[in-house]
Structure 1
Amino acid sequence: MVAHILKLKLRLLGNGFKRSVGQLVGVIIGGLYALGMITLLSAASWATAAENPFPGQLTVIIGSAVVLGWAVIPPLLTGVDLTLEPARFVHFGIPTKVLAPALVLAGFISVPAILTVLGLLGASMMWRLEPAVLAVAMVSAVATAVMAVLLCQYLTIMATALRAKRRFRELTFALLFLLLVSVGPLLSSVISAAENISDWVNPISEVLAYTPFGAFAALPGALAAGNYAQLTLCAALGVIYLAGLYLLLVRATGAATVAPPPQQRAATARGLGVFKIVPATPTGAVMARALVYWLKDPRYAIGVLMVPMLPLIFWFAGRQSGDYTMMFLLGPLIGILLGFSISADVSYDNTAFALHVLTGVSGRADRAGRVAACFTIGIVPLLLAATLPAILSDQLWRLPGDLGLTLAAFLIALGVASVASARYTYAVPLPGENPMKTPPGNGLRIALTQLGTMGVMAVLLIPVVIPYVFAWVNQSPNAGFIALGVGLALGIGLLLGGVILGGKWFERRQPELMQAVMINR
């Protein structure tokens, strides 16, 4: 039975590459890139073996980072390969003592698992000058990879029921996105606060060495230092952690095959919500529906989360370099990002786009409703981003120009996106899926569409950028007011033109748009 399940996993893995040529090409390119990076890191570990002052600490940190990454990102963000999820075997009556080890072994039949093992083995080359330590390092690398995969599988099973709840998915996505965005600035601040590298490497590695994340990874360093007490303790802790984790995984597998997690239930609606505060018109109905997306659909969360994250990122960067110039570009950048976000509105509608087709909503009403929703969500943080940097830095002469460029960027982005979304669609994550998921075989089309849309926005902004740059260089509020006037006139004009032109294309291409969103499923 174990061999049969492993063959099934291999067959599923192979069939996944046959779904589309684009997916196969993407996997090959990604795999070659990953192998190239692993080769470079292995070569670096080999070449710096004689000069590395912290081989033991570095091994612990690398191993702990790998285990922590497997423990956090896949279970909460994407999940392990769900084709062999334990709940799928509920109808086959396979004994848990057979199914659990089979699924554990099947977890290693994946590209990420193989690359993880190769990467950890490559990192162990930093011990090449000591053959005995190198042998222990290679064994500990494999053990660390096993710990990572088992911990990922266990947490995935435990999180399966929670992932069926929309609020849990939204919360975990938001937390992980904020963590990924802020980890660079946080690490930079910690490292810069230390006088030298040992001030943060030594304490962190000493703590991680006795945790499930770095117990096995600490073995080669302890052996090289002749610290046999630590070697014995870390080896014992690693075995205990691994054995306990396997028992927990077996128990969780058995529970999942007996009582699979409940399916997600439809949300219970109470009252009209935002529909009762918008005008009772087709434009108002589309606006209310789009507002529900902005407030509840995690796929829109990236655009919303970037609003508070960009100031933090620019502030950290300015603190490191001493130059806070980028803070004055917050408004235009946020305006472009928010305005551009509605270019995928039709794609995000998916099959719900049929409501717009069947009810005969006019193109202008559809375009105007989506624009109004985005404008309502974005205008307040946009104005704050445009005015606060100048006010806090006591450079009030910047206010007119910053406001002009920010509002122009936002309005022009909304106008261009209103046209683009009526003409071009591309595959996006389906409702309820991981918002970070990239549908296979669409990378080139998505990149070209987004690049073209952004390029048009940049060209249309040139008449506002010219007086804005003049005002910045000469510290001229008069030139700033010119940028403000040109920005408002140009932005409003292009927004209205985008709604009108996009509405015409929308009405003309409704059948093609409906067909496109059905194919994108």
Structure 2
Amino acid sequence: MVAHLLRLKLRLLGNGFKRSPWQLVGVIIGGLYALGIVVMLSLAGWFTADQSDLRGWVAILAGSVIVLGWAVIPPLITGVDLTLEPQRFVHFGIEEKTLARGLILAGFISIPAALTLLAALGFSTIWRLDPAVFVVGLLCAVGTWLMAMFACQYLTIVATALRGKRRFRELSFALLFLLLVGLGPIFSTIGSNAESIFEVLVPISAVLGYTPLGAFAAVPGALAAGEMGMTAMYAGLALVYLIGLYFLLTRATGKATVTPPAAQRASSAKGLGFFKLTPATPAGAVAARALTYWFKDPRYALSVIMVPMLPVIFYFAGGSTGSYTMMLLLGPMIGILMGFAISADVSYDNTAFALHVLTGVSGKADRLGRVMACFVLVIVPLILAAVLPAALTGQPWRIPGDLGLSLGAFLIALGVSSIASARYTYAVPLPGDNPMKTPPGSGARVAVTQLATFGIMGVLLIPTLVPYVTGWVMHSTLAGYITLAVGLITGSLMLSFGIRIGGRTMDQRAPELMQSVMINR
């Protein structure tokens, strides 16, 4: 049975390359990129081998990054390959221990896992000058790899069980996204306050050596330093962690194979929600449904969370350089990003787009309703982001120009997105999926579509940028008011054209759009 499961995983891995030529191209490019990283890590280990004062803590940090990366990124952020997830075997009646062993071993069969093992072994050349330590380093590299794979599989099972709860999905995504966005400012602040990077990394590595993240990686360093007691302690801790994690994984896998996943229950709704606040028109109904998505669909959370996070990022980025000029660009950045967000609305609708096709909602009403929802949600934060930075930095002459550029960027982005989403769709995470999941074969099309959309926005924004840059250079309030007027006029015209052209395009292509969102599943 175990051998059969391994053959099944190999067959599934091979068949995955036959789904789409673009997917195969993406895998090849990604594999070459990953191999480049493996070579770089191997060379880094090779050339650091003669730095006896660096090898120990560098190896611990490298091992900890490997384990932590596998424990966090696949299960909780990007999603993992669930073709052999334990819940799929509930109805087969296979013995728990046998099935658990087979599924655990099958979890090691993947391209990222193989590349990770190569990277860990390659970095072990950091101990090449001492043959005995080098052999121990290779063994500990394998141990670190096993720890990473076990942690990934265990947390995947736990996350899969909890992912059925909507609040867990939303909260975990929000916290992880905030953590990822905040890593840069956090490290920047720590680095600027420390006299040397060693003051930060050495104490961290010393602590990580006692944890499951860096216990294996700490063994060769202690052995190279001649600390036999510490070597034995690190090795003992590492084995205890690995064996304990294996038993936890075996138990969780066995339990998952006999316990079906909890059924997801639809969230209860009381009253009409946003429908009682919007006009009783087709556009008003579309706006109410779009607002419901903005507040309840985790896939929209990325755009919503970016609004409060951008000031934090710009503040820390400016603090590290001593200049807060980037804060003055908050308004335009929020306007462009939030206006662009509705370009994926039709793709996010998925099968619900049938409501628009079957009920005969006009394309113009559809475009207008989605614009209304985004406008109501964004306009107040946008104005605050455009006005407050200049006011708080004692530069009131900038306010008209900042406001004009921000509103112009927002309106133009809404107009361009209204056309783009009526003409192009691309694969997005399905309703209920991990919001950060990337559907296979969609990378190239998404990149081209988004690049073209942003490029068109930039070209249309040029008439507003000319007086804005003039006012910035000359500190001219008059140029700022000209920017405000040009931004409102050009933005309103582009939005009007976008709604009309996008609506006409949607009326002509409604069946094709419906077919596209079905294919993108």
How high is the TM-score relative to the length of structure 2?
0.98
State how far apart, in whole Å, the 2-side matches of 1:149 and 1:471 are. 56
Whichever residue aligns with residue 375 of structure 2, its letter is F
Specify the alignment match of 1:164 in structure 2: 164
- What per-residue deviation string (whole Å, max 9, x for no partner) do you get for residues 319-363 of structure 1? 111122111111101100000111111111111111001111112
Specify the alignment match of 1:145 in structure 2: 145
Whichever residue aligns with residue 173 of structure 1, its letter is F
State how far apart, in whole Å, the 2-side matches of 1:258 and 1:504 are. 53
State how far apart, in whole Å, the 2-side matches of 1:189 and 1:130 are. 38
- CA displacement at 1:27 relative to structure 2: 0.7
- What per-residue deviation string (whole Å, max 9, x for no partner) do you get for residues 421-480 of structure 1? 111222222111222222222222222211111111111111110100010000000110
Assess if the C-alpha contact under 8 Å between 2:210 and 2:237 holds in 1: yes
- Map 1:478-517; keep pairs closer than 5 Å: 478-517=478-517
- Structure 1 residues 484 and 79: alpha-carbon distance in aligned structure 2, compared to 1, 3 A threshold: closer
- Map 1:287-306; keep pairs closer than 5 Å: 287-306=287-306
- Map 1:447-462; keep pairs closer than 5 Å: 447-462=447-462
- CA displacement at 1:62 relative to structure 2: 1.2
State how far apart, in whole Å, the 1-side matches of 2:78 and 2:419 are. 32
- Map 1:409-428; keep pairs closer than 5 Å: 409-428=409-428
State how far apart, in whole Å, the 2-side matches of 1:391 and 1:503 are. 39
Assess if the C-alpha contact under 8 Å between 1:399 and 1:480 holds in 2: yes
State how far apart, in whole Å, the 2-side matches of 1:155 and 1:422 are. 39
Assess if the C-alpha contact under 8 Å between 1:127 and 1:134 holds in 2: yes
> Is 1:361–2:361 an aligned residue pair?
yes
- CA displacement at 1:267 relative to structure 2: 2.0
- Structure 1 residues 520 and 80: alpha-carbon distance in aligned structure 2, compared to 1, 3 A threshold: closer
State how far apart, in whole Å, the 2-side matches of 1:4 and 1:509 are. 47
> Is 1:40–2:64 an aligned residue pair?
no
Moved more, 464-473 or 41-50: 41-50
State how far apart, in whole Å, the 1-side matches of 2:54 and 2:125 are. 14
3-state SS of paired residue (2:53): coil
Assess if the C-alpha contact under 8 Å between 1:408 and 1:488 holds in 2: yes
For structure 1, the 5+ residue unaligned runs are none
Moved more, 152-161 or 20-29: 152-161
State how far apart, in whole Å, the 1-side matches of 2:302 and 2:79 are. 20
Assess if the C-alpha contact under 8 Å between 1:284 and 1:369 holds in 2: yes
Specify the alignment match of 1:327 in structure 2: 327
Specify the alignment match of 1:433 in structure 2: 433
Identity fraction in percent: 67
State how far apart, in whole Å, the 1-side matches of 2:160 and 2:278 are. 38
Assess if the C-alpha contact under 8 Å between 2:77 and 2:437 holds in 1: no
- Map 1:132-211; keep pairs closer than 5 Å: 132-211=132-211
- Structure 1 residues 52 and 468: alpha-carbon distance in aligned structure 2, compared to 1, 3 A threshold: farther
Whichever residue aligns with residue 364 of structure 1, its letter is K
Whichever residue aligns with residue 180 of structure 2, its letter is L
- CA displacement at 1:373 relative to structure 2: 0.3
Assess if the C-alpha contact under 8 Å between 2:90 and 2:258 holds in 1: yes
- CA displacement at 1:56 relative to structure 2: 0.6
Assess if the C-alpha contact under 8 Å between 2:79 and 2:437 holds in 1: no
For structure 2, the 5+ residue unaligned runs are none
State how far apart, in whole Å, the 2-side matches of 1:55 and 1:82 are. 37
Specify the alignment match of 2:251 in structure 1: 251
Assess if the C-alpha contact under 8 Å between 1:362 and 1:503 holds in 2: yes
Whichever residue aligns with residue 121 of structure 1, its letter is L
- CA displacement at 1:241 relative to structure 2: 1.0
Specify the alignment match of 1:394 in structure 2: 394
After superposition, the CA RMSD in angstroms is 1.3
- What per-residue deviation string (whole Å, max 9, x for no partner) do you get for residues 254-295 of structure 1? 211222221212222221111111111111100000001111
State how far apart, in whole Å, the 1-side matches of 2:53 and 2:192 are. 19
- CA displacement at 1:97 relative to structure 2: 2.1
Whichever residue aligns with residue 203 of structure 1, its letter is P
- What per-residue deviation string (whole Å, max 9, x for no partner) do you get for residues 354-396 of structure 1? 1001111112111110000000111111111101110110100
Assess if the C-alpha contact under 8 Å between 2:78 and 2:438 holds in 1: no
Assess if the C-alpha contact under 8 Å between 2:71 and 2:155 holds in 1: yes
State how far apart, in whole Å, the 1-side matches of 2:175 and 2:127 are. 37
3-state SS of paired residue (2:83): helix
Assess if the C-alpha contact under 8 Å between 1:77 and 1:172 holds in 2: no
State how far apart, in whole Å, the 1-side matches of 2:496 and 2:290 are. 19
- CA displacement at 1:52 relative to structure 2: 6.0
3-state SS of paired residue (1:71): helix
Whichever residue aligns with residue 197 of structure 2, its letter is I
Assess if the C-alpha contact under 8 Å between 1:80 and 1:153 holds in 2: no
State how far apart, in whole Å, the 2-side matches of 1:343 and 1:81 are. 28
Assess if the C-alpha contact under 8 Å between 2:371 and 2:414 holds in 1: yes
- Structure 1 residues 80 and 466: alpha-carbon distance in aligned structure 2, compared to 1, 3 A threshold: closer
